[in-house]
Amino acid sequence: MTASEAAPRASFPETRGRERGYDKAAVDDLLARARAAFEDGDPAMTSADIRMAAFPLVKHGYSIASVDAALGRIEDAFAARERTSAVAQAGVHAWVGHTRESAQEVLDRLSRPRKRRFDRVSPLRYGYRIDEVDLVSDKVSRYLETGDALTVEQVRAVAFRMQRGGYHEMQVDAVLDAVVEIMLAVK
């Protein structure tokens, strides 16, 4: 019996008509594994695993927004557990030092001149819109430098349009993931 067979289905709204949603079995399986890992204190599953979860899109699947909101809460719980464990093992000063180093790395990247903060894809390929990424980068920089208002949910929900010759998606996504980790570390 698999974890998804043993656990009852999650109660998320389903998509209707042509709208696609997350594959129910894939979501249910991840949720069952996350629950078991969290309840057992298994460090093999982390907040990063929750954040990086991806599901096939299907007709009559779970509502994307509802699942993403739930995953955000689950990621928060895993991050809090990881923070508590790290502080207990290494101490508060080591945890703060590591978080400060990560924040400085992100800030160094985002302090580069506009339109040159990330690598660009070739002019024939599509990447993230440069002006939109730079705008979000400025907001994140202000958060890291001065504590301007920014929430984890805002960073998680950011979406960029595409343009030819835009920023390389994987680099931008990696920095945004690092920002989420930093924010959760100090939450």
> What's the mean pLDDT in 162-170?
97
> What's the mean pLDDT in 169-174?
95
| Mean pLDDT, all residues of the chain | 91
- Is pLDDT above 80 for 187? no
Whole-angstrom distance, CA of residue 105 vs CA of residue 95: 16
Each residue of 127-162: pLDDT tens digit? 999 999 999 999 999 999 999 999 999 999 999 999
- Is pLDDT above 90 for 8? no
Is the CB of residue 62 less than 8 Å from the CB of residue 12?
yes
The model carries a pTM of 0.78
Q: How many CA atoms lie within 13 A of 186 on its CB side?
A: 19
Q: Which of 132, 11, 113, 12 shows the shortest CA–CA distance to 65?
A: 12
Confidence band of 10 (pLDDT split at 50, 70, 90): low
- Is pLDDT above 60 for 7? no
DSSP-assigned letters across all residues of 50-99: HHT----EEET-B-HHHHHHHHHHHHHHHHHHHHHHHHHHH-HHHHHHHH
Is the CB of residue 152 less than 8 Å from the CB of residue 183?
yes
- Is pLDDT above 90 for 186? no
Confidence band of 9 (pLDDT split at 50, 70, 90): low
- Is pLDDT above 80 for 3? no
- Is pLDDT above 60 for 125? yes
